[in-house]
Amino acid sequence: MNSNLPVQATVVTICPMTPDTSMVTLRTEVSHPVAASFLPGQFLELSIPGVGEIPISYCGLPSSDGSIELCIRHVGHVTTALKSVVTGAAVAVRGPFGRGFPLSRYAGQDLLLIAGGLGMAPLRSLLLALLKQRKAWGRLLVLYGAREIRALLFANELMELQSCGEIELQLTVDHREKCLDGPPGCRVALLPALLEHLVVDPERTCAAICGPPVVYPYLLTGLRQLGLSDKRIYLSLERRMKCGIGRCGHCAVGTLLCCVDGPVFSGAELAGVEGALV
């Protein structure tokens, strides 16, 4: 296998989730590592022939039938072109790349998953992996914030898990539209506010964070106030990326490369790294 060479994949389904985000299911070669062996938090490079290639986090679980779940926001050239892609269209993928969430480090721990906006995509993958061995961990707390109610991704899925007691869930939105009623218990506040009244055992809790870069400093402060040490906090960073294998030079953060050293880093690794938390 050459990690520069994308393998062919077809679009199985592409379903709009919010006005600007779609859930995309792809199918590629059976048992190809790009579909079969990755860790939550890792990413792949998705190509739309003739348009371009972009890094996208895994949003589902590894599969043996070659299927891949991705959650994609339509923001630029490639992601917008994806909007008009039809079922059956040929795309291509390569990966998995990067370092995912350290599942083994989480054994026996309480886990705090904090997602902002599209950050839910990789955290969903993490959550699904955790749920597969639900007994191996303690509490699973999910804090999730989005701009507005209709931008909350997987809200139903999450609420179902909450109602059958698998996870503890707190939702928040920045603005509540007048016309729409939010899910029960959904607050109107910025994401870091959810940490304010949280009760966790800092000695047996690990946090996994993915969201827009602006909230990271606030979340870190909040978590430290809860008593979590930086070593227990894992953040997924997003940077411009081209090659995915540590060569093109775009995704450097200090002397770290997001694509090979990350995208998941512990708070301790990022301490003092210039430009890591902006």
Partner 1 sequence: MAARFISHDNLELLLERLRMYGNLHGPVRGDDGVVRFTALSPGTPPDLSAVRSLLPPKKYLLHPRETILTYTADAGYQLPSEENSPLILFGLHPCDLAGIQYLDRLFLGDDPDLLYTARRAALTLIGISCTPDDFCSCHRFATPLEAVSDLFLASVDGGYVVTSSSPRGYELLKGVQELLEEREIESPEDSRRFFGQAVSGPAFSELDATLPEWQELANHCLGCGACSLCCPTCACFDVLECGGLDGDSAVRVRRWDNCLFKSHAQVAGGMNFRKDRAERFRYRYRHKYRGFGPLRGFPACVGCGRCRVACPAGLDLRPLAERLEGAHHEQ
Partner 2 sequence: MKKLRLAIIGLTACSGCQLSLLNCEEELPGLLDLFEFHLFPMACSPALLEGEYDAALVEGCVSTPHERELLLELRKRSQYLIALGTCAVWGGVAALRNGEDREVLRQQVYGQSRIACETAEPQPLRSVVRVDAVINGCPPEKNELLGLLADLARGTLPAEIDYPVCTECRMRENLCLLTEGDKLCLGLLTSGGCKARCPSMAVPCEGCRGPVPEANLAEAMELYAQKGFDRITVLERLCRFYPEWKL
Q: Which residues bind ligand FAD (CB under 6 A)?
A: 43, 52, 54-57, 71-73, 75-80, 118, 121, 238-242, 263
276 vs 46, 196, 252, 268, CA distance in Å?
A: 25, 24, 9, 12
Q: Measured at the alpha carbon of residue 105, what is the angle toward residues 33 and 210, in degrees to the nearest 5? A: 70
Smallest separation, CB 243 to partner 2 (Å)? 18
Tell me if 78 contacts partner 2 by CB under 8 A: yes
19 part of the interface to partner 1, by CB under 8 A:
no
- Choose one: 48-56, 60-68, 183-191, 216-224; the region binding partner 1 (CB under 8 A): 48-56
Least separation in angstroms between residue 5's CB and partner 2 is 21
| Contact indicator for 176, 188 with CB cutoff of 8 Å | yes
Query: Toward ligand FAD, which CB reaches closer, 21 or 172?
Result: 21
The DSSP element (H or E) to which 82 belongs, if any, is: helix 77-83
Q: Can residue 50 be called a binding residue for partner 1 (CB under 8 A)? A: yes
- The nearest distance, CB 73 to partner 2, in angstroms, is 16
- The whole-angstrom separation of Cα 139 and Cα 101 is 17
108: left (phi over 0), alpha (psi -120 to 50) or beta: left
Strand ranges of the sheet holding 67-73, from the earlier edge strand across to the other edge: 52-57, 43-48, 90-97, 7-18, 21-28, 67-73
Residue of the chain from 30, 185, 250, 271 that contacts partner 1 (CB under 8 A) = 250
Question: Judged by CB under 8 A, which stretch of 39-47, 75-83, 112-120, 123-131 contacts partner 2?
Answer: 75-83
Q: What are phi and psi of 203, to 5 degrees?
A: -85, -20
Q: Give contact residues for partner 2 (rule: CB under 8 A).
A: 48, 50-52, 77-78, 80-81, 84
